Amino acid sequence: MTVSTPKPFLARVSDALPDLHPSERKLAELVLDFPGEMAGYTATEIAELANVSNATVSRFVRRIGYGSFDEARRAVRDEQQAGTALLRMSADTPQSGGAVARHLMASQQNLELTYGGLDDTVIDNLAEAMIAAPRVWFVGFRAGQSFAQYLGWQCSQVLPLVTVLPRAGETLAESFASLDARDVVFLVALRRKPKLTQAVAEATKQAGAALAVLADGPTPDLAGADWHLTSATSTTAPLMNHVSSMAVCNLIGARIIELSGAAGRARMAAIEESHRRFDEL
């Protein structure tokens, strides 16, 4: 007999994000940044921290599947005791250790939360769709551009037609005019994303192409994506911690290479032969 395991507290919050009311989403962002607050504060104190009403706190915990705030708080405490590192993080967490130790702790916590929300079937389904597509587009702005370039470069080892946008000297319109309904678009939507991000998503859906989104925060404007992946980037430092964003890109790239089969291996062999011919490496 299979015993079902209750969905973890943070996974419930992440899953509910696209459908939350703005005030509930504000509370959810506080909880995701400092989830340990739920264990040590009352509903009124949490409401004050997030600058929302007590009624919003009550609606929020019901939205994520708990009967009351006390039930949600007990769930957080249980998961803390089970060793979930991120749930030990609060706004009052003392900054012990040096900068290296603090960065390591933040990275570990973000990786734990990110990998807890990933699913083998979803990752492989996305990888197989990219392999089957005539062209795969990787789009990212600001911080997201680096991850779009990295994943596009890795996938180009086995995928014959990869485009990374935006490209220097071109408008998005000039590039996206070639978008085909059989293509896949991988959109990196990291905070703070520009308005063009939503325009890319809308253009993708209008063209009939498949859309995958990698985000690190609430993205109700991108809820129509075929695949939605979340990378936690919480930090107490001046810069967002993007370790988990790179980890997700690395995972997807690795699975595409692993699942590409004989065609992928043949392309990699041709690239190696070209390296020898050009004497590049």
The predicted pLDDT at position 4 comes to: 54
DSSP letters of 188-222?
Answer: EE-SS--THHHHHHHHHHHHT-EEEEEESS--GGG
Q: Divide the 281 residues of the chain into consecutive groups of 10 and give the mean pLDDT of each group.
A: 65 86 88 75 89 93 92 82 53 62 88 92 97 97 94 96 92 90 96 87 95 88 91 79 96 97 90 88 82
Query: Could you tell me the two tokens for 34?
Result: 């400092």
Contact 137, 183 (CB under 8 A): yes
CA-CA-CA-CA torsion sign (141, 241, 85, 46)? negative
Kindly report the pTM of this predicted structure: 0.68
CA 225 to chain CA centroid, nearest Å: 13
User: Residue 2: what pLDDT?
Assistant: 42
Count Cβ atoms below 10 Å from residue 228 Cβ, excluding itself.
Answer: 21
